[in-house]
A and B are shown apart, each in its own frame.
Chain A
């Protein structure tokens, strides 16, 4: 039997105390916090007990209970009750307290958090009138609770107040030698600070209030649509909201440029990572920054927030110089060319920037040099000579990205000169083992030259203080927090901000006049200079931290530059800059089961997406549907076809289409009178709940999760129509006709709500729906009256052969590319393109002929059936009919399945 513990880990206090009290013979091994002792758990869990039978216990309470049991003291029922209470009711607030006291320096506020649990203990102890929790002698419950509370209660700043019984009970433990010695082992006499390192590695505990609002899985019934029980109160509340209509809120006015912060509004400054100019962005780049930020901004504008969304191309650096040499152009020409390419791609994807600028401008030089001089003045720069790699055959210093070699940390063979893709650590190019010039594959030599360094260690304390505040009050994705924390844990080192290059912002210091700023220092300043190119009043956004909230969107590889390095530049400049409040980082998007690769022609790049014939809105939908939120995800053609056909076509499109069809077909295009019955109210309550989830998630930038709730609404809606069968009721008596009217009216109103919820995801489709519904521009006013026409289906089916052709086309030719080692153009066989065109081709003339043929054939079948003809004969004619229908569907570009709205089902 062996017990694994780590120093400064409050959970270990319990088991060490239990071990001392029971005197059980057991090896104790101290390990690192990050050590994974329990083989099946992916997160480190300490303490852990290896049982004689080879099993691991990882729950401190179960370990304590076991230690007591083998020493002959079985836990009583009351004991069990206390242990369960400790795990479920005491631990969450306790961890929150530790987090506040140890990491946030808010020790004074913990007593309110612990108030409830301590009162509960006081009540039980005083009522039972016994010295220990379960009676006259000490039990496992006392040891566990005492050890759990010790770190907080032993801190003199926390008063027991009137809780005399808890105090007496706690003091009994303090004087016991076994408890004392366990506390000494874990905390080393350092009190709360002894746990700092441990706490820094823990995810921030959700505040309790927060947790309750999250859509959690605690209630299994919630996972089942049909099981969700809607109470009468909810139904009535929904009906009430419905009857009120929408208070005519102030009409969202057209955006007036320049947008500036406004008093009394939420002012959001949103940026997405600046794409590097000489690469055509691939789908992963697009979802990682610009598309995510765009969806969020569109949502924010709906919410009435005052938003400025800026982005632009990052243009300086060696890569541009090289590209220019390759194409025989000047760097400026290259930037102009590719800036236009980027701009067009984002336009096609309907990325609604307020301004899309670039970093090669005068403003950039002006602002970057100003920041530089301020940092210099405040003494945050160091001078040092630096060893740099120089390729003698190319006759130049090699930029980090132009060196490859073996990672000094993890031995990954293809580490780049600035960062290792495998372990994620930053590297100094000269530290690489077996370095190679990426251009000519020669081994570069080391040369030294004088450079300037940003003194990050000197800024670390300021940075940490600001980070504590920003990460605890803002929305930082878990990966952003974790990457930042791991950077700080490794300790900050001075970072070089100058380079021996030409294509960059010149360093204004006379001693360094042939140098330019290193891109990592220069590029983020691009956010400021791009804003300055948008408006002269840019400082109202960038030097206004009290009024402005800054959102940075990026993929996770960009996190350290936005959370550590750039904030340090701005802090060092001491000019009241706006620092990031919300850092939203995605994980990586893979292509099928591999990485996107420009050189191998694998994957879909921004400029090719429009050649696929698939509308931009569908691309947006699918990319946001698989947004790598919280974990890596993959783009898959088959999955895209599936989601398009099952979610967009059969679920969402079908629902919106049906409601509209009924209005046109049965009610002369006028939304009928509605009289709500209980089942309508139930639907409204369900829709209301989904809408609420949607809003809560998008407020927290959970873009992908929120999309699920849109689709849930149309699922509810389809079910509602299916159950109520308005197409049947319309043919019956007055009451039934009235019912059909209500169901139709409710459906189109929900369709209108959906159009608004869809806006951040599919702006064009969203507008089309409202146009079809003839909804007023001040929409979300779901009580619409008036006419509408429903002619065009919203989405088209993606056929298997179409998808297969695309998959082939963008799959690259890996084998040849690998052996040749040269860039492969994206293969685009003509045949594939032709296939797309033919499948996509909608032929109205042929559709008309086929409609006629289907009708005739249908009558023929019916006639045969009434004549009670031979079965074989009927089957043959039915087969012909089905074939005709299929052809018709193809000609109309629709799903060949019988459309449910035709009303012949069942």
Chain B
């Protein structure tokens, strides 16, 4: 008896390009009338915006910032040098840490974000920014995998997550995740 080696198995499905879905969702949220043309480049399917007024714009974060500027909503990138730096940092965190994170990283990520969000409503403090959208998309699969008890354990992340998924025009194209607002597990350990 032997199990067939992976070479004979079916390749994993790639699905549609998530980054492109995120960008078109962002376009809708920003109310951009004319949809842009996108392509992808390289093995990692990095999104590229074919810009009619200049050279193509490359990279998920760069394209997103470009769209925000096009829609004249600069406040979504932060309203001060400090908050702009914080927003950029979390956008980078999304594409470097959340994308491609392994299962072992998940707990650390959730724990860190939970602590970070302890005294914050949004990723960059008191205002909704692009960082909320992108960290939301990036962390969605992690949250969707959590049991109710774990969601309680990461209460601050869950609160923020639930808030953002109900933020008008953001959740699409992802399925909703149920987050309970009351706690049902009393003790800390079970």
Question: A residues near B, CB below 8 A?
Answer: 39-43, 51-53, 55, 57-59, 61-63, 65-66, 69-70, 77, 80-81, 83-85, 87-89, 91, 206, 211-212, 214-224, 226-231, 234, 237-238, 241, 246, 249, 251-252, 299, 302-304, 478, 592-593, 630-631, 634, 636, 638-639, 684-685, 688-689, 691-693, 695-696, 705, 756-757, 759, 777-780
Contact = CB atoms under 8 A, between A and B. Distances in A.
A215 B12 CA distance: 10
A882 to B, nearest CB: 27
Nearest to B56: A81
Interface centre among B11, B46, B100 (most CB of A within 10 A): B100
B160 to A, nearest CB: 13
B108 A59 contact: no
B31 interface: no
Interface in B75-120: 81-82, 84-86, 88-89, 92-93, 95-96, 98-104, 106-108, 111-113, 115-116, 118
B86 A65 contact: no
A40 B116 CA distance: 5
Contacts of B93: 59
A307 B140 CA distance: 42
A53 B115 CA distance: 18
Closest 8 CB pairs of A and B: A223-B141, A688-B10, A593-B189, A62-B89, A66-B85, A40-B115, A84-B59, A692-B9
Contacts of B2: 249, 252, 302-304, 780
Contacts of A636: 190
Given A219-B18, A692-B12, A302 B1 contact: yes
Contacts of A39: 115
Interface residues of B, number: 69
B137 A87 contact: no
Given A62-B92, A63-B85, A217 B13 contact: no
A674 to B, nearest CB: 18
B82 A53 contact: yes
B71 interface: no
Contact of A88 (B59, B101, B111): B59
A692 B102 contact: no
A223 B85 contact: no
B15 interface: yes
Given A234-B11, A303-B3, A62 B85 contact: yes
Contacts of B60: 84
A289 to B, nearest CB: 21
Contact of A780 (B4, B13, B66, B115): B4
B121 interface: no
A109 to B, nearest CB: 21
B82 A84 contact: no
Interface string B1-37: 1111110111111111010000000000000000000
Interface string B118-159: 100000010000000000011011101100000000000000
A252 B101 CA distance: 38
Contacts of B138: 220
B1 A780 contact: yes
Contact of B16 (A221, A638, A685): A221
B100 to A, nearest CB: 5
A401 B26 CA distance: 63
Contacts of B59: 80-81, 84-85, 88
B179 interface: no
A69 B62 contact: no
B6 A696 contact: yes
B61 interface: yes
B35 to A, nearest CB: 20
A878 B84 CA distance: 65
B13 A77 contact: no
A759 B2 CA distance: 11
Contact of A84 (B13, B62, B111): B62
A88 B95 contact: yes
A80 B61 contact: yes
Contacts of B66: 77
A58 B141 contact: no
B82 A66 contact: yes
B84 A237 contact: no
Interface centre among A89, A252, A759 (most CB of B within 10 A): A89
A80 B82 contact: no
B164 interface: no
B86 A57 contact: yes
B187 interface: yes
A84 B61 contact: yes
A114 to B, nearest CB: 16
B144 A216 contact: no
B81 A689 contact: no
A776 B87 CA distance: 61
B141 A55 contact: no
Given A218-B99, A223-B140, 4 more contacts: A51-B82, A62-B88, A62-B92, A217-B106
A241 B1 contact: no
Contact of B11 (A51, A62, A237): A237
Contacts of A43: 108
A839 B93 CA distance: 53
B180 interface: no
Nearest to A120: B42
A684 B10 CA distance: 9
A693 B5 CA distance: 11
A183 B97 CA distance: 26
B10 A241 contact: yes
A227 to B, nearest CB: 7
Nearest to B142: A217
A224 B175 contact: yes
B92 A689 contact: no
Contact of B102 (A61, A214, A304, A684): A214
27 contacts: A40-B115, A42-B108, A42-B112, A52-B82, A66-B84, A80-B65, A84-B61, A84-B95, A85-B58, A212-B43, A216-B102, A217-B101, A217-B106, A217-B142, A218-B99, A223-B142, A224-B141, A228-B15, A231-B13, A634-B190, A689-B13, A695-B5, A695-B6, A756-B1, A778-B1, A780-B2, A780-B4
Given A40-B115, A58-B89, A237 B10 contact: yes
Contacts of A695: 3, 5-6, 9
Contacts of B190: 593, 634, 636, 638-639
A43 B97 CA distance: 13
Nearest to A69: B81
B43 to A, nearest CB: 8
A77 B15 contact: no
A757 B3 contact: yes
A227 B1 contact: no
Contact of A221 (B18, B116, B118): B18
Contacts of B81: 66, 69-70
A87 B96 contact: yes
Contacts of B125: 55
Contacts of B84: 66, 69
A556 to B, nearest CB: 15
Contacts of B103: 215, 217, 630, 705
A59 B101 contact: no
B99 A692 contact: no
Contacts of A249: 2
A218 to B, nearest CB: 4
B6 A692 contact: yes
B10 A692 contact: yes
Interface in B44-72: 44, 46, 57-62, 65-66, 69
Nearest to A64: B85
Nearest to B187: A593
A373 B104 CA distance: 44
B17 to A, nearest CB: 9
Nearest to B61: A84
Nearest to A212: B43
B94 to A, nearest CB: 10
A721 B94 CA distance: 39
Contact of A227 (B82, B86, B95, B175): B175
A220 B174 contact: yes
